[in-house]
């Protein structure tokens, strides 16, 4: 069997190029092609990990989307957000509408939003999506992708990231050629946002929770098309070869092994614009606790220049910059394999992680460490509000659960951190239940093994 992994951007690198999925498929006698536009260094890093891997490569080209299907896609995007916000009675879902900044984009957005605002329904959306497909089949890009696929000759095309529009067009081309298609839903917050510009034969999701979301938000998708596999990004936490002793990790990064470590994980400026102030508050609140060391992990797709005033004031904060290579665009950033080891050992050896609503709470839960979510305003006059953040749809997965520790004011920081470090069993008591609700880890098989098994089963389905 010949499997083509379509990796349209940097999102799929860690989960698929750095996991054992490709290597194991090749060991079982299957041929693999990676269809990508990634930096060649990424491929070399992958081959450094999988020394026996001989996967083929094929260039994935990007094409400018034609005006009409782009306008129709914008219309569908806003319609889905509006419909989902009504369906879940959650107006924050509309926050995911990000208007274009250039003149043509603003014009397109204006008309798309105007058209979409009138009584959206699944039936109307499906009607517009059929028009988009008809337009795509006339496009130059569609014909080029079909030519590429005829040269690659796969039995299955697996797209590692469901949001990229060009990838959606390529998957349409594959389906029209009779090639089986699969995509993976990348993150726990993706589905309410309606970001699924492709239809495939199969969809890989993290859990029963995500499966239910997919069926609810996309009723044209059938239950037998959905496979629960977890996500490979959490497999690394059970890989003993990545784990260092506390002393080894401390020596590697200049940490004090005698202290209790806590990790503050930053986010990008759009998602969490006040992160520097939160880091300031944490450092100031713990200044009289010399037994605690604050480790700061910045977001990989930004530098940490906006934190400089905090780091100059609190020199005891230890910065561990993510081991990523910067790209010209967010989608062109990529991690080095060593970053996976850094993250695994941070989650293993730090007592907790503190941030604004980050997935990192799930990473730390892999080692049964409670996560802390900051939940107080630092600039009430700013348009960004932390109270609105926690009304986002994916946080409803907390329902009825004591999943994380909440810091509701600066004054709570010290006591809450000390409690988490000294009595972790007494806080966030449902963190493992929440973790397993979001990402299925209820079988002995790793996510990678489940994905491999499913791909191998497709010819028999």
Please determine, for residue 112, whether its predicted confidence score (pLDDT) is greater than 90.
Answer: no
The mean pLDDT of 139-149, rounded to a whole number, is: 97
Instruction: Single out the residue in 94, 113, 135 at which a domain terminates.
Output: 135
State pLDDT tens for residues 396-415. 999 999 999 999 999 999 99
Domain carrying residue 408: 236-438
Query: Which residue in 155, 205, 161, 158 sits closest to 177, CA to CA?
Result: 155
State pLDDT tens for residues 357-380. 999 999 999 999 999 999 999 998
Q: What is the pLDDT of residue 281?
A: 98
State pLDDT tens for residues 237-261. 999 999 999 999 999 999 999 999 9
Query: Which residue in the block uniquely carries the two structure tokens 């309410």?
Result: 192
**Least confident residue range of 9-13, 19-23, 182-186, 368-372:** 9-13
- Distance CA(277)–CA(275), nearest Å, equals 5
- Sorting pLDDT into bands at 50, 70 and 90, what band is 145? very high
Percent of the chain with pLDDT over 90: 78
> How many C-beta neighbours within 10 Å does residue 236 have?
23
State pLDDT tens for residues 146-157. 999 999 999 999
Q: What is the pLDDT of residue 331?
A: 63
Residues 302 and 399 in one domain: yes
Please answer whether residues 37 and 331 qualify as being in contact, where contact means their C-beta atoms are separated by less than 8 angstroms.
no
Instruction: Single out the residue in 89, 106, 135 at which a domain terminates.
Output: 135
Domain count, the chain: 3
Whole-number average pLDDT of the chain: 93
Instruction: Single out the residue in 83, 113, 135 at which a domain terminates.
Output: 135
Q: Tell me which H or E stretch contains 451.
A: helix 447-457
Exposure string over 413-431, b if 16+ CB within 10 A, otherwise e? bbebbebbbeebeebbeeb
Count of alpha carbons within 13 angstroms of residue 182, beta-carbon side? 25
Query: Which residue in 266, 346, 335 sits closest to 306, CA to CA?
Result: 266
CATH number at residue 215: 3.40.50.2000
Residues 175 and 266 in one domain: no
* C-alpha distances out from residue 196 to 73, 99, 190, 410, Å: 11, 18, 9, 39
Please determine, for residue 441, whether its predicted confidence score (pLDDT) is greater than 80.
Answer: no
Residues 289 and 395 in one domain: yes
pTM: 0.94
The mean pLDDT of 324-343, rounded to a whole number, is: 84
Please determine, for residue 219, whether its predicted confidence score (pLDDT) is greater than 90.
Answer: yes
Residues 208 and 254 in one domain: no
Please determine, for residue 449, whether its predicted confidence score (pLDDT) is greater than 80.
Answer: yes
Residues 116 and 193 in one domain: no
- Sorting pLDDT into bands at 50, 70 and 90, what band is 15? very high
Alpha helices in 351-412 (DSSP H): 360-365, 386-389
- Distance CA(52)–CA(49), nearest Å, equals 9
Residues 319 and 195 in one domain: no
Residues 322 and 270 in one domain: yes
Residues 320 and 431 in one domain: yes
Residues 124 and 272 in one domain: no
The mean pLDDT of 347-364, rounded to a whole number, is: 97
The mean pLDDT of 112-124, rounded to a whole number, is: 80
- Distance CA(275)–CA(314), nearest Å, equals 15
Residues 57 and 72 in one domain: no
- Distance CA(159)–CA(163), nearest Å, equals 10
Distance of CA 342 to the CA centre of its chain: 18
Which of 118-127, 222-231, 435-444 ranks highest by mean pLDDT?
Answer: 222-231
Please determine, for residue 54, whether its predicted confidence score (pLDDT) is greater than 90.
Answer: no
Residues 211 and 104 in one domain: no
Please answer whether residues 209 and 422 qualify as being in contact, where contact means their C-beta atoms are separated by less than 8 angstroms.
no
Residues 216 and 358 in one domain: no
């Amino acid at each position: 069997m010949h499997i083509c992994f379509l990796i349209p951007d940097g999102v799929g690198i860690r989960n698929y190029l750095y996991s054992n999925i490709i290597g194991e498929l090749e060991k079982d006698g299957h041929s693999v092609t990676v269809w990508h536009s990634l930096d060649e260094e990424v491929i070399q890093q992958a081959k450094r990990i999988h020394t026996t891997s001989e996967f083929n490569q094929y260039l994935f080209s990007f094409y400018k989307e034609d005006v009409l299907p782009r306008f129709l896609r914008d219309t569908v995007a806003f319609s889905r957000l509006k419909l989902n916000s009504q369906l879940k009675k959650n107006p924050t879902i509309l926050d995911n509408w990000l208007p274009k900044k250039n003149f043509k984009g603003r014009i397109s957005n204006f008309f798309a939003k105007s058209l979409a605002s009138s009584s959206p329904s699944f039936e109307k959306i499906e009607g517009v999506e059929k028009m988009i497909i008809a337009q795509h089949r006339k496009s130059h890009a569609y014909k080029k992708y079909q030519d590429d696929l005829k040269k690659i000759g796969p039995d299955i095309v697996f797209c590692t990231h469901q949001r990229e529009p060009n990838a959606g067009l390529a998957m349409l081309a594959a389906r029209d050629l009779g090639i089986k298609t699969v995509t993976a839903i990348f993150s726990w917050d993706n589905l309410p946002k309606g970001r699924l510009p492709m239809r495939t034969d199969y969809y890989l999701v993290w859990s029963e929770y995500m499966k239910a979301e997919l069926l609810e938000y996309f009723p044209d998708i059938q239950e037998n098309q959905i496979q629960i596999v977890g996500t490979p990004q959490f497999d690394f936490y059970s890989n003993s070869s990545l784990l260092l002793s506390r002393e080894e990790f401390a020596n590697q990064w200049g940490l004090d092994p005698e202290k209790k470590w806590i990790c503050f994980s930053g986010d990008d400026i759009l998602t969490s614009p006040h992160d520097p102030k939160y880091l300031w508050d944490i450092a100031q609140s713990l200044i009289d606790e010399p037994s605690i060391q604050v480790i700061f992990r910045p977001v990989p797709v930004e530098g940490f220049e906006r934190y400089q005033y905090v780091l100059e004031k609190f020199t005891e904060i230890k910065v561990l910059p993510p081991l990523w290579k910067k790209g010209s665009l967010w989608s062109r950033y990529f991690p080095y394999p060593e970053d996976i080891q850094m993250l695994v050992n941070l989650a293993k050896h730090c007592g907790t992680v503190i941030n604004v609503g980050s997935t990192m709470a799930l990473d730390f839960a892999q080692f049964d460490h409670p996560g802390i979510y900051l939940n107080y305003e630092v600039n009430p006059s700013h348009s960004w509000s932390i109270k609105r953040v926690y009304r986002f749809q994916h946080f409803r997965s907390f329902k009825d659960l004591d999943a994380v520790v909440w810091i509701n004011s600066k004054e709570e920081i010290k006591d809450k951190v000390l409690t988490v470090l000294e009595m972790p069993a007494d806080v966030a008591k449902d963190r493992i239940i929440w973790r397993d609700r979001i990402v299925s880890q209820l079988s002995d098989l790793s996510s990678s093994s489940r994905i491999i098994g499913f791909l191998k089963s497709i010819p028999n389905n």
